[in-house]
Copies of this chain bind each other. A is one copy, B any other.
């Protein structure tokens, strides 16, 4: 049994090394690194002075898998990013600083109660530089713009966009290595919909795949599971929450339990595609807690009680550890 485990873990390490070695290099990694280090340094003071002393990395939206090197086609994982954006707001309210690692173009924090295309839909011009917000959107729009600006300017919200699975995993690794300095005060809230399969960069077609000659057969290989290495090597003391989304309710909790054990998560949040905005189940090694949206209010969401519960669990985790410095 031990030898099987050992073999499996060795295979995974080789797969992970090969994934990162073969990935196209991250474009702005120096800048991202600088911003990250500043953000972590700023928010690692032990208490008070308007800074946070807990930092959460919220991942949000789906990753893409390019099918061609000069990318025209790719496989995408559907996710509006609503959960990550909304959770970011509640984490800020709960006193966390947030690194928001999000898919370009998905939902942004503070924009939940605003129409699609707000830029074109919400404003009217009164003169050359004064725009009037249409009455029905006024409060939501003002709150969105002001709260968003305040969080960014006060150094409590760092937004980092990604598109491909290669960018996502490289950035997650950078963030985790940087957040490792925070020890158990760091949290990962991994709500992004990460591709399970990818086409290795080397085996990818350089040019656009041509149509016109019958069906297209594709072989995708599994993306190596990074959660285990995040827990074991990148940030071993950080509090880790991952998500399990299934469309088939029957296998959902079973898969959540498996993920908890396999990747040594502290929490797995289980959610089913059709009911995910109403209910989630918080799965830990000894509990399964159903969390519901407050149905007595129209504008409530399930992220509000979920983040309260998770912040509490993170507090309990911190209290359970031997006192640090």
Contact = CB atoms under 8 A, between A and B. Distances in A.
A38 interface: no
Contacts of A71: 78
Contact of A146 (B68, B125, B217, B273): B125
Interface residues of A, number: 66
A83 to B, nearest CB: 14
Contacts of A144: 119-120
Contact of A219 (B120, B211, B216, B220): B216
A247 B208 contact: yes
DSSP majority for the A interface? mixed
B245 A72 contact: yes
Contacts of A215: 197, 219-222
Most B Cβ at <10 Å: residue of A72, A77, A274:
A72
Nearest to A64: B76
Given A75-B67, A128-B142, A145-B123, A222 B217 contact: no
B133 A132 contact: no
A131 interface: yes
Nearest to A72: B78
Interface of A: 64, 67-68, 70-78, 105, 108, 110-111, 114, 117-120, 122-126, 128-133, 135, 138, 141-142, 144-146, 148-149, 193, 195-197, 206-209, 211-212, 214-222, 245-248, 273-274
Contacts of A133: 129-131
Given A120-B148, A129-B135, A217 B214 contact: no
Contacts of A130: 126, 130-133
B76 A73 contact: yes
Nearest to A141: B131
